[in-house]
Amino acid sequence: MGRIFAAVFSILLLLVSMYLFGFAFQVSSGQAFIFMAGVLLMSLSFFLPIHVFGKR
């Protein structure tokens, strides 16, 4: 059950990070912070499955 939750959560983080990448170009201020939040979320979305699924 934990692996399923981690996979769904990782996909959700990936989708939110892609939304933040596009949203950063639509706002008038704070683009860098929004874009960096997207980068951090994308990194986290790749880190979680590697960490969770790497353990046996």
Q: Which residues have a Cβ under 8 Å from the Cβ of 30 and sit 6 or more positions away?
A: none
Q: What is the pTM of this model?
A: 0.83
Q: What is the pLDDT of residue 55?
A: 66
pLDDT digit string (tens) for the chain, length 56 residues: 777 888 899 999 999 999 999 999 999 999 999 999 999 999 999 998 888 777 66
